[in-house]
Structure 1
Amino acid sequence: MTAGEDIAIRRKRLRYRAWHRGTKEMDLVLGPFCDANIEEFDSATLDRLEALMDEEDPPLLKWVMRQEEPPAHVDRDFLDRVVSDHQARIEQ
């Protein structure tokens, strides 16, 4: 398997995971975000996405909805990118 095939498989796996979170609300946040952006993500950015997706849905949804501040270990810049993407979609 080449590096290109490896990253393609990783993108496909993360896209599936984004759409099958366990809660519909997070599916509708992360699924469209991945559909729109994942093909542009390099390995380091996929790492950032994967770290965010490793968080549990209830607190993640609260962070996305700006109901709570995320803890210090969360990549706030990447979370803000997801939130901005989601807000742009719901405003359309």
Structure 2
Amino acid sequence: MLPDEELKRLRWRAHHRGTREADMLIGGFFDAHNASWSTDERALFSALLEEQDVDIMAWAIGTAEAPQRFAGPMIDALKLLDYIRSAR
């Protein structure tokens, strides 16, 4: 798959999770970080998208620990929650 097509697919999957909360969290994370990702990090994010939204959200807010295969810089960045836009 070409990089542009892959990014479009990942963006769509990140923003269409099924709940508004998950769309904001996962889609916002994608928007904030995808430009700096390596090929391996894109693959890791793609694998993350296969997980249940409730699990991803629990890892982000710290109510559950992420599986070892996801532990590292991506989950650390996900936990910051500084990428979520909120109305002020």
Both proteins in one fold, TM over 0.5: yes
Q: Where has structure 1 moved over 6 Å in runs of 4 or more?
A: none
> Aligned partners of 1:67 and 1:45: how far apart in 2?
24
| Normalised TM-score (structure 1) | 0.76
The aligned residue for residue 39 of structure 1 is 35
Of the three residues 55, 77, 81, the one matched with 1:81 is: 77
Q: Using the TM superposition, give the Cα deviation of residue 88 of structure 1 relative to its aligned residue in structure 2, in angstroms.
A: 5.4
Of the three residues 42, 50, 57, the one matched with 1:54 is: 50
- Listed one character per residue, the Cα deviations across residues 19-48 of structure 1 (whole Å, up to 9, x for unaligned) are 001122211111122122223323111011
Higher relative contact order (CA 8 A, sep 6+): 2
Q: Which of the two has higher C-alpha Rg?
A: 1
Aligned letter for 1:50?
S
User: In 1, are the aligned partners of 2:14 and 2:23 still within 8 Å (CA)?
Assistant: yes
The aligned residue for residue 65 of structure 1 is 61
Identity %: 28
Paired residue total: 87
> Aligned partners of 2:68 and 2:34: how far apart in 1?
25
Secondary structure at 1:71 match in 2: coil
Q: Which 5+ residue runs of structure 1 have no aligned equivalent?
A: none
User: In 2, are the aligned partners of 1:18 and 1:53 still within 8 Å (CA)?
Assistant: yes
Q: Which has the higher helix share?
A: 1
